Structure 1
Amino acid sequence: MRVFLDFEASSLSKNSYPVEVAWAFEDGASEAWLIRPAPGWTEWDARAEAIHGISRAMLDREGEAHDRVAARMVDALSGHDLLASAPSWDGKWLSALLRAAGLPRHALRLRDSDDAHLETAMALLQGAVEPAQIEGVASSLVASAQIRAAGEQPAHRALADAQEERLRWLKVRDEAQALACRMRGSGGAR
């Protein structure tokens, strides 16, 4: 099953670490965790805190131990298709979390959610759109499938951002299905 995942972090520096993680399964089931920093995770950027609103004190008070969060992730997410809108950043923080917990850094792997959006649209358009046009039509559907209004910023909280990416996938899926039905009804691809 597809799972949309997002992290918030202490900063965007090379020494940053995850402070929150959340995921939303394609069926809507979701979890969110504040992460109490591992020993040695000390780097902090007040600008990042201003964006996500998570303070170091909040993590110390309300966060779950980093190793418990990592274990829960491996338990809940192994065997699923893990998707992130910023896989290089989210992958960095996933790797840091897994390594700090003593788990293999590749125990879980992320892919770009845009790839999943495109794959879904292309699969649904098969037989309805000319083969030479499927990728272009699917790409157009993905590009136009926005959840936020133009200029509106993401929530910068892990659960809201993961759920938004799930909603975007659902929108791509629904629009591709509707287009495929219209094309088949009008004679579409042969």
Structure 2
Amino acid sequence: MNQTMREELVTLLPRLRRFAYGLAGTMADGDDLLQSACLRALDRADQWRPGTRLDSWVYRILQNLWIDQIRSGWRREIAVDEDVMTAFPGGDQAREMEAKLGLAEARREVAKLPAEQRAVLLLVSVEGASYKEAAEILEIPIGTVMSRLSRARLTLGQALSAEGPASSDAARARS
């Protein structure tokens, strides 16, 4: 592995960690998944072709490891680690609490999505990958990316509008 590849891999770590956490559901499991992906990338550095996107290659490794873990039965259920939600100082406490509750609810709903939809949603909406990049990383057609993303967004929108803090505010306003 050359120095440039190592440096680029280090700069990718925050994005890869966020993706791993989103897939795994907890920071601990996400960190384990990320560590396994980094080890595999380092072990197989000779398989990466210079001139191609390192991020896509490592995202694919991470995704494949996660799928392997699901298939092996190692991961049965995705749970949201509420300890990740840290207190932010200052500001309007009521508004901050509502935002935290909304974020926690959104994380729970994302964790409930089918694995294929969750992976596409995280890559496109959180990591900012284009549809084409997501299709390459996940090794699926662009149309499938668009379909899964649409279903994921629709499911999340319905779940959050039916159960989220905003709907309880609307219900209070009507009563």
Same fold (TM > 0.5): no
Report the TM-score range of the alignment, normalised by the length of the smaller protein.
0.3 to 0.5
TM-score, length basis structure 2: 0.35
- Which structure features the higher share of strand residues? 1
TM-score (norm 1): 0.33
Normalized per residue, the structure richer in helix is 2
